[in-house]
A and B are shown apart, each in its own frame.
Chain A
Amino acid sequence: MKTDFLQISNGEAIKREKIPHLSFDAFYRDALSIVRVGGKVVHYFAYSDKGATKLMAVLRKDKLKVASCDAPDVYPSMTSQCEPFHMFEREIAEQYAIRPEGHPWLKMVRYHANFLNRPDVFGNDYTQDIPGNIDYYGVDGEEIHEVAVGPVHAGVIEPGHFRFNCIGERVLNLEIQLGYQHRGVEKMLPGVDPKRLPVIVEGIAGDTAVGYGLCMSQAVEALSSLQVDEGAQIIRTIALELERIANHVGDLGALSGDVAFLPPANYFGRMRGDFLNMTLLICGNRFGKGLVRPGGTRFALTEGVRKTLNDRIFELTPQVKHVINLLLTNASVQSRFDDCGAVTQADAEKLGLVGPAGRASGLPYDVRRCFPTGHYGQLNIPGNAKRTGDVHARATVRGEEILQSLDIITTLLGDPVETRSIENRKVSLAPSSFVVTLNEAWRGELSHCILTDADGAILRYKVKDPSFHNWNGLSMALRDTEISDFPLNNKSFNLSYCGVDL
């Protein structure tokens, strides 16, 4: 199939003039034709350029493709014909007041005034600071009841609102409304002092600080032609895999706790800390904040650090294996995990699920294998796809990925490569340029996109957390599931609130 979209590479800077600027009709036709035959949306966003509002889409199939167009004030919604555009069209409507006519569920994403001070698409009054003060998807009927949960939840977790429509214990529909964590990140980033950029980006979602730092750094490196040496690439890979292990281990513990099987809950909880402490050993911060910077990493692996890491991985690997085995072979755990909250592959395709949640539903996509950067091109990342799409599949995928990541780290630690640590440096970005970077963070495809203006200043910084795709997967998992299984399903996805809210 021939389209006018331009093929690009992950982390490759190109001049903006090279990006096909299509008529809206051609843009619309091509974008739909790519996504309808299995393509996915990586980015679809609006930006302002010299007073004009424009739309840009980065799509992926086996390659990445990009195009832009002038934004009309109103246009026929793509979502009504092709589901993966759903959240993106809502975000564009909220940020730039462009109305997708005929959108099946046109509702704000985060509850904030648009960037252009134009009339609000949703008719919201933002002097009222209550994002919960809005309508929800409702179900009518004599025995239907609604359950409203949040924004403040019963655990030590981030805020969000969940609205269940139930008949008895059975959930007919779950609607998830976020926005409580909105800090105005995308509005802040273009004008901000460059020295603040890494610290802000790492704070967008602190549980994915390495992934965020990496996406930002690779984008800045591409725009300023900075080279990263092999040693730093390896440290970045180790840090990203440690982040994956720590979070997956923690989530398996939480899943275990939710089905009241306490031994793995406690063991995993403790071991998660052991993995965070390895990141602490490398860079002085348990979440890897301050490690990845444009040009390399701020900390090198000394012989002592490398040896300690090696010893700890060696000690922990059998423990992790045993506890995963303890969890996944226990009969009472299996009976709770199996068939719970299944998302079919067809639904996962339409929602565009990514990461472990997508792989659990049969979508093998993994940025590390499909669009590798840094050291990942030299690694052999397995497919991991499962068929059942239930809690058991999501837990199994996590378990397998923990072991694969342990293997990757062991291999990398065994082959010392020198690097020099770098400090935050002043860089000048190429003017009138564009770059998109993708990384497989622990929740899935994380992507940043930077557009620069004629002076090399950041014109638009677009962030997409994998959770932006996956929250609707959780809604889908809850359909026809007992409401008491919500916590278990929620943990099996463990999505980011702040990564979506920005």
Chain B
Amino acid sequence: MFNILKNRLDQGYKTTGYPNEKIQLPPRYRGRPRINRQAPAEVIAECAAACPQDAIDVSGTLIDMGRCVFCGTCERISKGRFISFTQDFEISVSEKEHLVTDGGLPALADHSRQHFKKLFGRSLQLRQVSAGGCNACEADLNVLATPFFDLARFGINFVASPRHADGIVVTGPVSNNMKTALLKTFEATASPKVVIAVGSCALTGGPFRGSPEIAEGLDSILPVDLFIPGCPPHPLTNLHALLTFFK
């Protein structure tokens, strides 16, 4: 008993003040990309050729955050002259076309659906489905339940059954072998319901695009309401998306 109390005192209070307090992520974290459209054409072409995800559109000088795995190859090659990554982790969008960006993003709060806020603003129960996910996205969703983030204080929980859920959170490139189970989970969720796609794989197939064993984007199978980019998205990106879209 003494041991339990001593540990409790050791641990102290660890929950973040976000969103009321700002959080500064470390300098090497790569969040929202910033694009210099005036960069020399050859630098842009070099970045596009080196991008492992082919996420750079040369003619429009745009980057597809749905494909991007935020590896920073383009930033390194262009030495920041074309693309640089900021520490801004608030990068989720509600329309897929907004993922293809020149660095600017619409404010998510302005695009969230008002009826979702009304329905789920005080209580949101989510069912997570991993459909070919590599366990990185899953882990960084799971971490929202730990004391630092403490998702439950906002009335948001991950629940054990789709019958208890207001929506599903899907990770992974939707492997063929998981498609039926995913659709059944979606059907089992009570309407009205939301669908949230988390991570590069669920957005576009991610690193596995081109494989015949997956779907390239959850939105080709289900109507998606919220797109959270990253490989995996930082837990704060997930938290920001949920709070801004539903609160």
Contacts and interface: CB of A to CB of B under 8 A. Distances in A.
Interface of A: 110-112, 129-131, 151-152, 154-159, 179-185, 187-188, 192, 195-196, 198-200, 202-207, 209, 250, 263-264, 266-267, 269-270, 272-273, 276-277, 280-287, 289-290, 298-299, 319, 322-323, 325-326, 329-330, 423-424, 496-498, 501
B139 A207 contact: yes
Interface of B: 3-4, 6-8, 10-11, 14, 25-26, 28-30, 50-53, 69-73, 76-77, 128-143, 145-148, 158, 160-162, 172-173, 175-181, 185, 201, 206-208, 210-214, 231-232, 234-235
A385 to B, nearest CB: 27
Contacts of B134: 203-207, 209, 498
A151 B175 CA distance: 13
A194 to B, nearest CB: 9
Contacts, number: 203
Contacts of B132: 180-183, 498
Contact of A285 (B14, B70, B129, B201): B70
23 contacts: A112-B213, A130-B180, A152-B185, A154-B161, A158-B138, A159-B129, A180-B181, A181-B132, A181-B177, A184-B213, A184-B214, A185-B211, A200-B208, A205-B134, A206-B232, A207-B134, A264-B7, A266-B147, A267-B7, A269-B146, A270-B146, A272-B146, A424-B50
A207 B136 contact: yes
A322 B2 CA distance: 12
B28 A281 contact: yes
Nearest to A421: B76
A497 B176 CA distance: 15
Contacts of B145: 269
A289 B70 CA distance: 9
B143 A199 contact: no
Given A322-B7, A325-B3, A498-B135, A280 B130 contact: no
A179 B177 contact: yes
Given A203-B134, A269-B147, A181 B52 contact: no
Given A284-B28, A424-B52, A185 B135 contact: no
A159 B135 CA distance: 10
A329 B3 CA distance: 10
B211 A326 contact: no
A108 to B, nearest CB: 11
B91 to A, nearest CB: 14
A195 B50 contact: yes
Given A183-B214, A284-B72, A322-B7, A200 B143 contact: no
A184 B235 CA distance: 28
Given A156-B128, A282-B28, A181 B208 contact: no
Given A184-B213, A195-B50, A289-B69, A269 B143 contact: yes
A136 to B, nearest CB: 17
Contacts of A276: 143
Contacts of A155: 142, 158, 160
